[in-house]
Structure 1
Amino acid sequence: MDVRRRGWAINIVAALLVVGAGAIVGLTVFTVMRTNADVALRRNLVSGLALRVQWAVRDIRDARLRVRMVATRPFLADQLAAARRHEGAALGRVEHGLRAFLAMRLSALALYTNAGTLYAHAGAFMAHPVVDMPLRGELGTTLLWNEGRGFVLRVALPVDRRRAVVGWVVGDAPLPTLGRLLLGARALRSAANIGLCGPAGTRMACFPNTFDPSQAFARMARRRAGAPLPISYALAGHTGFIVTRNYLGHQVAAAYRPVANTGLGMVLTMDTAALYAPVYREFTVVLPLIVAVLAVALLVLRWQLAPLVADLVASERSAHEAHERLKDTESYVQAVVNSVDEGIATISETGIVETFNPAMARLFGYAPEEVIGHNVSLLMPEPHRSHHDDYLRHYRDTGEARVIGTGRELTGRRHDGSEFPIDLRVSEFYLGDKRRFIGTARDATGRKEAERRMEYVATHDTLTDLPGRALIQTRIDQLIRRAERSGQLFAVMFVDLDHFKDVNDSLGHDLGDRFLRLVARRLQEALRAEDMVGRLGGDEFVVLTAALVTPLDAALIADKLLRALSAPYLLEGHTLYCSASIGAALYPQDGRDVDTLLRHSDTAMYQAKRSGRGLYRCYDEAVNATSGDEVRLASGLHKALSAGELVLYYRPVRAVGDRTVVAVETALKWRHPEQGLLDGDDFLGIAEEAGLAVSLVEWVLRQVGSEIARWRDRSLKTAPVYIRLGSRPFRDARLQESFAALLTRGDGYLGSVGVEIREEDVMDDPQDALEALSCWRRHGVDVMLGDYGAGYSSLPYLKALAFRTVRLDASLTVDNSADTESIEGLTAIIATLHALGIAVVASHVATPEQYEAMRRWGCDRYVGDLAGPLMRADGCAMCLGEQDAPAAGRGLGDGRPLSGPL
């Protein structure tokens, strides 16, 4: 009995163990099944959503790319740019082209001008979209939907022509893939749903989905019962998985992800009740089988197949991604090749053209289909065409290249048979195991013409078309080598027009240029065929006379040139006379190299000018030794103007009595690289003879104008600054305009700069001086008479010229300080000047005794060492800063300021 009870107990325990084990196994299996279902659901939803987002993004970008391909067509850009000039036939061609572009999976295209006017269109645009959603990351791109046409991407892109927008292309591109993604899973509509939404302020707008294939939600809340809907996470830019309730209140498992940077969000949901219902049903029916078979099957499958399946999926995904990247790369490369301005073609190993881009087609005048499949020798003229195949065969056999791997200039042959130069570069590459060649070509016609023009401009004078300095030097070098062989003489003549600046200033630069062309023509006509004339610049010409027998031959040629140039010139109703000075250097006695001959001929010309102008002089070493310093100074002044060697000093002019600074005079010096600091007296006369006086005054004027501006920036009460002029600058109209420009530059400049002219320069031609004086005053520039009493002292002329300030010559104020008779004469002169309303300035006042004498005689102002030494601009600014406000603004006599020597 006990044994039987023990047996029952064992059986019951065993049964309980079996039942318990089965329950535990069943529960474990159920838990594993549910867990696996959750894991599989999450993985499938996340990966499925990622794949669908990828497809959607690709569908959108592909549609935008198709519209961009239309917008980048040069044909449309050209037609839009010329839209106002021709409409009829051109509009027809454009609309025909747009209809052809519809074959690129586009439903409609429209072309607008910059003004927003419709120029042409083709196809039918979607009308009355239920949902229109602008895409955030794609400017000009809107996603549309209505029930009739489904999803359409509308893209608006600018049309560029030569980096300028000439219009816009608007296109509708159907998105069938997106429609299938959102509406194609009708069989799973009870469990799965794909949603696509976009932001609408604080709410959102959703496109039709699996649950509502014909219903779009224009606006709906992002939260339900206080909890955010899964799609709201995607709209916020997040990616993830969540179990929550959808907008219908159903518990769902949802994967969410933003659609790239478009601002859209996509969600893939599955109802958990529908997901787990089959699991519960099957579990209750096949629990024993599940316990026995499923465990083994899962273990075996997981052990054997899971790694293989994972590897296969990864491999397939990598291959798909690589294929897509390759397609994108091919499309990108093709777009680049078709859009560049450089001709590009690929050629097979046997010389057959395989690709021919639009730029190459334009270059040779062929359509691509007329060339592709033919031998590239079609583009070559004879004899290169006949030898091209032999050249390729030789390269394949030996590897020796003449063009491949290098760039060179060749001759091309267009479709019309014309030949033209091209810059060609050929490279070799392999596609698999097959050799290919790629060639790039540019039309070299413009480059060669530019090179020819540049060479001509570099060697010729653009005004007269005469040879320039470089060609002159080359020709002299050739004559030297020829003379060394033949023993003949030749001459280098330097021709300089006398007083050409006066002609240029009186008639203007345009007529001055025409006058120089007339001079060049006369020089050419007066020379022999073997001689040459060139222009160095300005009014300087060089004549090269070859094959001379004696120096007298050069003199005869120079005389002929002087007579030709001295004849009257008729120019637009003007009869002009202009002589020339000619200097000559003979080979070999005056020099055996190019530079020496040119330098000595220039020196001889300068000797001719000093002898009276309108003359011919041959180089004379003895004369050159005495005038060399002056020639070098004149030559150095040209460099000094640009090399910063000129220095400007200032000296105060003070009032007799309170001794306040009422004006500032200037003194120009030259920091010579060899002779040190030179005073103006050492070089201003040479500058006048060399025609540089006006340029020097203009330089001084620029410096004075800059200093006045700086003094005003420092709030200094500046005194007027006066500049002394020579005879030629005083009568120069251009210089008067430069002064006027400074005076009208800003407020307060009027009266800030004046000029001084010596009595000697005025009395050379009083009538001409009166006209010049009127011009200066008309421009608002005050003029003072300097060095009065140096030998003229003409009171009638002084009264007629109406000067308001006169500076006495130093001989009247310095030398007469102890001479009673001279003092009486000087006092009478000053009294007469005061009677005419003229203020008097004493010069070179260096001692207190001289100052007291000037004060007794009645001088109004004084200048000299006692008034203040020469100083640079900073020292002058300090001197001005020390003035009292009332005194700083006073002028000479009537309030006008005073100048000093340049």
Structure 2
Amino acid sequence: MEVRRRGWAINIVAALLVVGAGVVVGVAVFTVMRTNADVALQRNLVSGLALRVQWAVRDIRDARLRVRMVATRPFLADQLAAAPHQADAARNTMNRGLRAFLAMRLSALALYANTGTLYAHVGAFMAHPVVDMPLRGELGTTLLWNEGRGFVLRVALPVYRRRAVVGWVVGDAPLPALGRLLLGARALRSAANIGLCGPAGSRMTCFPNTFDPSQAFARMARSRAGTPLPMSYALAGRTGFVVTRNYLGHQVAAAYRPVADTGLGMVLTMDTAALYAPVYREFTIVLPLIVAVLATALLVLRWQLAPLVAELVASEHSAREAHARLKDTESYVQAVVNSVDEGIATISETGIVETFNPAMARLFGYAPEEVIGHNVSRLMPEPHRSHHDDYLRHYRETGEARVIGTGRELTGRRQDGSEFPIDLRVSEFYLGGKRRFIGTARDAAGRKEAERRMEYVATHDALTDLPGRALIQARIDQLIRRAERSGQLFAVMFADLDHFKDVNDSLGHDQGDRFLRLVARRLQEALRAEDMVGRLSGDEFVILTAALVTPLDAALIADKLLRALSAPYLLGDHTLYCSASIGVALYPQDGRDVDTLLRHSDAAMYQAKRSGRGLYRCYDEAANATSGDEVQLASGLHKALSAGELVLYYRPVRAVGERTVVALETNLRWRHPEQGLLDGDDFLGIAEEAGLAVSLAEWALRQLGSEIARWRDRGLKTPPVYIRLGLRPFRDARLQESFAALLAGRDGYRGSVGVEIHEEDVMDDPRGALEALSGWRRHGVDVMLGDYGAGYSSLPYLKALAFRTVRLDASLTLDDSADAESIEGLTAIIATLHALDIAVVASHVTTPGQYEAMRRWGCDRYAGDLAGPLMRADGCAMCLGEQDAPAAGPGLGEGRSRPSPL
């Protein structure tokens, strides 16, 4: 019995020892497994959070960089600076420019003036954000969220032009990746949660998280029951791991970290109850049998821990995918930077080149690896190279900038040592808490040459390459100032070829143009080096003779010019003779300002013509009185208005390529009872002086209204009909009202009648022309600018007047036989007009060669003999009915003429 009892005791002790050993082993194994789980959990939470923070930081900075790329575009700065003066054109240009940037994953862009005025707006900004969190370290940057749009980064940056802020760019950049980041923790099932919060005073505001994907938390406390929440550590700028209770009171393992220098914090948590629940459950089941099934218990424990390990692996895999997507985003941005035409480089605070895109490499002739890591001063010539480091140091110490934050023209140095002008714009930005600079550059040589060429084209006659009106006036003004100091005489001579129209009529405009070039060459050869000859228009030339001793010197020079011009001209197989009439006005006795000298020399020229042509005449006030013939013509015009002696002719304007009649030009003629059919050029100048120009314009308007009505009664569609006006009727308010009454009194007439004003008339009084232009447009009458390119106007005036259609001067109608410089000047003018959204009409197109060349160079419409001859109303009705111009070389009907200036 004792043995049995001892045996039972031994058995019991052994069983207890086995059970105890099993329990010890089980507890030890459980403790080791839990410790390993804790270590793996902490490592994976910390590394997973670090990757997510890096992803969020790069996503935010990539979005800000995209908006910065918009803010540093030079053409936006130029348009913002121009907007107060040319609001409509600049706003249209800015809207088109901003719309192109939406492709850079921006949902909305807006441009504001310094005053807060909105100039341009594309896309849709987030409205009514639930969370509106300004970011520290990123001035002007706000992180927004609402349930409909998710996360959006709003960036407001200044736009600099010449070191001055000319406006602001505000852009919304969607951050879908940030939303996926916060919701991506769902891969860890319900155990994990990612939170993103920002400071709100002593509290904090949190964005939606994995547990609450559609709810934000405003002004939450940073602690619970006196214990700081993990997010409070992150907002304090600390990084670490802690096991504590979350805002719901659940015990969690949490990794916390600040989101760079943005002021935000991010926390990745896992519920410990969910983490260890499988372990505790299996442990209570296995404990009674642990001695017998220790190995099985270890396998069961391992099997139960496997899902947790799998969850952590899934979390790490998600983080790696996020990192890969971030890399793809970086590659996308780099591809955009590499594909732009502008050179782009980023530079460290000490002047070391960090990035160098292909356009910048082509600009300077260096491979990127030859520049990256070196001081940017190697791209500069002396003495700028030696002083660059001192300039950067001075800027860091004082903030005084000559280049940074502005755009200006500088000199660059290529790898081969050659120097060239560049347009450079430098801005500073912060990345990773460090100041850096981004510079955009483009070769300015082409722009400067284009500006020089445009200036030359604007001041010189395209046909003869002589100075135009603007340059002539500037030279006279210079001679006046010089004469005021020295007391020397100088003369202004106005030369007009006699019967030049006969050359055009008999030999054609091509030979006429050659003849004008020969005349220009003879005038230049006959003058001294200090003298100057220019062409006003047609066959009118102005000669300036400086440093005269006596008035006789001017007479001798005029006589020399007449003899030079009277020599025979050889034009192919033809020998031509052509005289000229020259008027001379002396400074100071005949005028003390530019306009008076030109006007008096013109008057003297007419005195020469009335004296028999082929002569010169010095200005004589008494002889400048109106001649008897002119008085008779002026008197006859009064009668012609009431006697039905006036008649309107029409010439079609056709669309290039389609040959459709898109407009009609009018030409006023006078059936004089004694002199026969007179062209408008023979009497309209006299009408202007006699005060009859407005009356003639009113007669033409009434006649045009009647003829349009007859055309429409015949079922014809009438294109716009343009009546050319001189400056006086163009500015006449009563005439504007007459036009308005015609348009209002007849259905469908709005848009049927327009007026044409010539460039020369506009530039005689630009301000008055602009005021009159506003009146015409207010009454619904379109205004076309005629004879553009004769050297009168400048590009700013053309922008201010905002014409929709411009008819080129006849001297600009060229073909392929023209010299390269003339063609280059013409194409520059057409390109400039198209850039301003202006339709271009080629005038006096007489040959298929001219038509084909002008079509190829960009003209939208054409007029002249090739488009159709001058026609009376019945002939014009047939033309409108047929809508088919002659193929080549049409006749001129009753004559060929420019549209009549009324």
TM range (shorter): 0.3 to 0.5
657-666 or 820-829: which moved more?
A: 820-829
583-592 or 703-712: which moved more?
A: 703-712
Flag the 1:877–1:545 CA change in 2: closer, same or farther, 3 A: closer
CA distance in 2, matches of 1:553, 1:245: 108
CA distance in 2, matches of 1:584, 1:648: 37
Flag the 1:40–1:704 CA change in 2: closer, same or farther, 3 A: farther
Kindly provide the CA deviation profile for residues 99-125 of structure 1, in whole angstroms up to 9, marking residues without a partner as x.
Answer: 999999999999999999999999999
Alignment of 1:690-701 (within 5 A): none
Flag the 1:273–1:119 CA change in 2: closer, same or farther, 3 A: same
Shift of the alpha carbon at 1:269? 28
CA distance in 2, matches of 1:825, 1:147: 58
Kindly provide the CA deviation profile for residues 746-776 of structure 1, in whole angstroms up to 9, marking residues without a partner as x.
Answer: 9999999999999999999999999999999
Flag the 1:290–1:66 CA change in 2: closer, same or farther, 3 A: farther
CA distance in 2, matches of 1:797, 1:101: 31
Flag the 1:782–1:579 CA change in 2: closer, same or farther, 3 A: farther
CA distance in 1, matches of 2:144, 2:122: 19
855-864 or 98-107: which moved more?
A: 855-864
Shift of the alpha carbon at 1:610? 2.0
Flag the 1:442–1:592 CA change in 2: closer, same or farther, 3 A: same
Flag the 1:233–1:294 CA change in 2: closer, same or farther, 3 A: farther
466-475 or 698-707: which moved more?
A: 698-707
Alignment of 1:278-317 (within 5 A): none
709-718 or 121-130: which moved more?
A: 121-130
TM-score by length of 1: 0.43
400-409 or 879-888: which moved more?
A: 879-888
CA distance in 1, matches of 2:100, 2:821: 111
Kindly provide the CA deviation profile for residues 13-39 of structure 1, in whole angstroms up to 9, marking residues without a partner as x.
Answer: 999999999999999999999999999
Shift of the alpha carbon at 1:507? 2.0
Kindly provide the CA deviation profile for residues 330-373 of structure 1, in whole angstroms up to 9, marking residues without a partner as x.
Answer: 23321211111111111112211111111111111111111111
Contact 1:722 1:898 in 2 (8 A): no
Residue 741 of structure 2: SS of its match in structure 1?
Answer: helix
Q: What's the counterpart of residue 21 of structure 2?
A: 21
Shift of the alpha carbon at 1:474? 1.0
Flag the 1:607–1:288 CA change in 2: closer, same or farther, 3 A: farther
Alignment of 1:510-589 (within 5 A): 510-589=510-589
Shift of the alpha carbon at 1:149? 41
CA distance in 1, matches of 2:417, 2:839: 87
CA distance in 2, matches of 1:204, 1:267: 13
Flag the 1:9–1:297 CA change in 2: closer, same or farther, 3 A: closer
CA distance in 2, matches of 1:633, 1:550: 39
Shift of the alpha carbon at 1:648? 4.7
Flag the 1:312–1:620 CA change in 2: closer, same or farther, 3 A: farther
Shift of the alpha carbon at 1:378? 1.1
Residue 184 of structure 1: SS of its match in structure 2?
Answer: helix
Kindly provide the CA deviation profile for residues 634-655 of structure 1, in whole angstroms up to 9, marking residues without a partner as x.
Answer: 9999999999999859999999
Kindly provide the CA deviation profile for residues 264-296 of structure 1, in whole angstroms up to 9, marking residues without a partner as x.
Answer: 999999999999999999999879999999999
Shift of the alpha carbon at 1:530? 2.1
Residue 122 of structure 1: SS of its match in structure 2?
Answer: strand
CA distance in 2, matches of 1:395, 1:261: 24
CA distance in 2, matches of 1:759, 1:88: 23
Kindly provide the CA deviation profile for residues 140-198 of structure 1, in whole angstroms up to 9, marking residues without a partner as x.
Answer: 99999999999999999999999999999999999999999999999999999999999
Kindly provide the CA deviation profile for residues 527-555 of structure 1, in whole angstroms up to 9, marking residues without a partner as x.
Answer: 12222111112111000112223322222
CA distance in 2, matches of 1:772, 1:211: 69
Q: What's the counterpart of residue 100 of structure 1?
A: 100
Flag the 1:639–1:444 CA change in 2: closer, same or farther, 3 A: farther
Flag the 1:391–1:661 CA change in 2: closer, same or farther, 3 A: closer
Contact 2:126 2:149 in 1 (8 A): yes
Flag the 1:258–1:466 CA change in 2: closer, same or farther, 3 A: same
Count of residue pairs the alignment pairs up: 902
Larger RCO, structure (CA 8 Å, separation 6 or more) = 2
Kindly provide the CA deviation profile for residues 808-866 of structure 1, in whole angstroms up to 9, marking residues without a partner as x.
Answer: 99999999999999999999999999999999999999999999999999999999999
Flag the 1:593–1:408 CA change in 2: closer, same or farther, 3 A: same
Shift of the alpha carbon at 1:438? 1.2
Contact 1:816 1:822 in 2 (8 A): no
Flag the 1:13–1:437 CA change in 2: closer, same or farther, 3 A: closer
Q: What's the counterpart of residue 195 of structure 1?
A: 195
Contact 2:198 2:264 in 1 (8 A): yes
Shift of the alpha carbon at 1:722? 20
Residue 293 of structure 2: SS of its match in structure 1?
Answer: helix
Q: What's the counterpart of residue 134 of structure 1?
A: 134
Kindly provide the CA deviation profile for residues 207-256 of structure 1, in whole angstroms up to 9, marking residues without a partner as x.
Answer: 99999999999999999999999999999999999999999999999999
Flag the 1:364–1:276 CA change in 2: closer, same or farther, 3 A: closer
Shift of the alpha carbon at 1:620? 1.6
393-402 or 302-311: which moved more?
A: 302-311
Kindly provide the CA deviation profile for residues 504-525 of structure 1, in whole angstroms up to 9, marking residues without a partner as x.
Answer: 2322222222211111111111
CA distance in 2, matches of 1:736, 1:2: 139
Residue 291 of structure 2: SS of its match in structure 1?
Answer: helix
Contact 1:660 1:888 in 2 (8 A): no
Structure 1 alignment gaps of length 5 or more: none
CA distance in 2, matches of 1:428, 1:659: 56
TM-score by length of 2: 0.43
* RMSD of aligned alpha carbons: 25.3
Contact 1:582 1:608 in 2 (8 A): yes
Kindly provide the CA deviation profile for residues 44-77 of structure 1, in whole angstroms up to 9, marking residues without a partner as x.
Answer: 9999999999999999999999999999999999
Shift of the alpha carbon at 1:399? 2.1
619-628 or 654-663: which moved more?
A: 654-663
Shift of the alpha carbon at 1:711? 2.3
Residue 185 of structure 1: SS of its match in structure 2?
Answer: helix
Flag the 1:705–1:393 CA change in 2: closer, same or farther, 3 A: same
Q: What's the counterpart of residue 147 of structure 2?
A: 147
Residue 662 of structure 1: SS of its match in structure 2?
Answer: strand
Shift of the alpha carbon at 1:318? 11
Structure label with greater radius of gyration: 1
Residue 888 of structure 1: SS of its match in structure 2?
Answer: coil
Flag the 1:102–1:596 CA change in 2: closer, same or farther, 3 A: closer
CA distance in 2, matches of 1:832, 1:23: 93
Shift of the alpha carbon at 1:683? 3.1
Shift of the alpha carbon at 1:564? 0.6
Contact 1:429 1:436 in 2 (8 A): yes
Kindly provide the CA deviation profile for residues 680-731 of structure 1, in whole angstroms up to 9, marking residues without a partner as x.
Answer: 9993796999999999999999998994796266349999999999999999
Shift of the alpha carbon at 1:577? 0.7
CA distance in 2, matches of 1:799, 1:407: 24
CA distance in 2, matches of 1:62, 1:581: 73
CA distance in 2, matches of 1:399, 1:768: 48
Identity, in percent, stands at 91
Flag the 1:586–1:690 CA change in 2: closer, same or farther, 3 A: farther
Flag the 1:369–1:113 CA change in 2: closer, same or farther, 3 A: farther
Flag the 1:79–1:289 CA change in 2: closer, same or farther, 3 A: farther
Contact 1:466 1:535 in 2 (8 A): yes
Alignment of 1:636-675 (within 5 A): 648=648
Flag the 1:63–1:585 CA change in 2: closer, same or farther, 3 A: closer
371-380 or 878-887: which moved more?
A: 878-887
Flag the 1:79–1:385 CA change in 2: closer, same or farther, 3 A: closer
Flag the 1:128–1:61 CA change in 2: closer, same or farther, 3 A: same
Structure 2 alignment gaps of length 5 or more: none
Flag the 1:426–1:315 CA change in 2: closer, same or farther, 3 A: farther
Shift of the alpha carbon at 1:658? 44
372-381 or 793-802: which moved more?
A: 793-802
Flag the 1:401–1:478 CA change in 2: closer, same or farther, 3 A: same
Shift of the alpha carbon at 1:588? 1.5
Shift of the alpha carbon at 1:580? 0.6
Residue 275 of structure 1: SS of its match in structure 2?
Answer: helix
Flag the 1:170–1:713 CA change in 2: closer, same or farther, 3 A: same
Contact 1:558 1:616 in 2 (8 A): yes
Contact 1:45 1:269 in 2 (8 A): yes
Residue 97 of structure 1: SS of its match in structure 2?
Answer: helix
Flag the 1:813–1:266 CA change in 2: closer, same or farther, 3 A: closer
Flag the 1:25–1:673 CA change in 2: closer, same or farther, 3 A: farther
CA distance in 2, matches of 1:763, 1:329: 55
Residue 190 of structure 2: SS of its match in structure 1?
Answer: coil
